Amino acid sequence: MEQVKSLKDYPAEVQAEVKQVREVVATLHEQLLKWNLVVWTAGNISQRLHTADLMVIKPSGMRYESLTPESMVVTDLNGNVVDGLAAPSSDTLSHAYIYRHMPNVYGVVHTHSTYATAWGATGQNIPCGLTMMGDEFGGPVPIGPFKLIGSEAIGEGVVETLKKYPHSPAVIMQNHGPFTIGKDAEAAVKAAAMTEEVAHTMWAAKQLGQIIEIDPEDIAKLNDRYTNVYGQH
């Protein structure tokens, strides 16, 4: 049987990174409240380390206002706790699955943000009818399969869905809510905020009439410009 190491068994550089990532992950949860992406305790953030196959994730069921760097939980990429006093998030095994199968991903976020989750309840991809969707998602925001909570099944659903939508940093799990990814936890939080924004706008558009979807060639150009030209390089 695999021996689970304690954080004390890891080198000093790993312990130093854990300290820094605990701060980052604890503080970023404030952004979920700021952007109105969560209610009560329903959502979580994690970030993977660069110095070891470990991640830092929110403790399960704790109010965002009470989160501190010390209350964050450190697990390995099989979801085993290596440091922390609290039980880790219900979605730990799914975050770990995503990190194991998507080596460029270092941040994962889950929310139940209202409009994105409403699309999830209908099982419909959010169609790409906005230039910002071409920019941010490179196409529609996809719906992932329905999966029960607590195992790595949600992570499998996210990874399988993103194989079909490789430019999207978001999957809205059917009947559940968005899971977003990024090069770090902050990028995944940004993707969660953008998912909710476009979910809201496209919901409003649907009330007004038929959606005009953007041509896939133009979506590719938008996504390329946003990825390679937009912002400071």
Ligand X SMILES: O=C(CO)[C@@H](O)[C@@H](O)COP(=O)(O)O
The HSE-up count of residue 220 (CA atoms within 13 Å, CB side) is 3
Q: How far is the CB of 117 from ligand X (least distance, A)?
A: 10
Residue ranges in contact with ligand X by CB under 6 A? 41-44, 58, 60-61, 89-91, 110, 149
Instruction: Note the maximum CA span of the chain.
Output: 60
- Given 3-state DSSP classes, what are the helix, strand and coil percentages for the chain, each rounded to the nearest 5? 45, 15, 40
Q: How far is the CB of 112 from ligand X (least distance, A)?
A: 6
- Taking the least distance from each CB to ligand X, the nearer of 51 and 90 is 90
What is the spatial distance between Cα 194 and Cα 205, in angstroms, rounded to a whole number? 16
- Taking the least distance from each CB to ligand X, the nearer of 29 and 190 is 29
What is the spatial distance between Cα 154 and Cα 8, in angstroms, rounded to a whole number? 31
Q: How far is the CB of 59 from ligand X (least distance, A)?
A: 7
Q: How far is the CB of 44 from ligand X (least distance, A)?
A: 4
Query: Using a CB cutoff of 8 Å and minimum separation of 24, what contacts does 127-130 make?
Result: 127/202, 127/211, 127/213, 128/213, 128/214, 128/219, 129/202, 129/205, 129/211, 129/212, 129/213, 129/214, 130/198, 130/201, 130/202, 130/214
Cβ contacts of 217 within 8 Å, gap of 6 or more: none
- Taking the least distance from each CB to ligand X, the nearer of 86 and 211 is 86
- Taking the least distance from each CB to ligand X, the nearer of 4 and 39 is 39
- Taking the least distance from each CB to ligand X, the nearer of 73 and 222 is 73
Q: How far is the CB of 142 from ligand X (least distance, A)?
A: 18
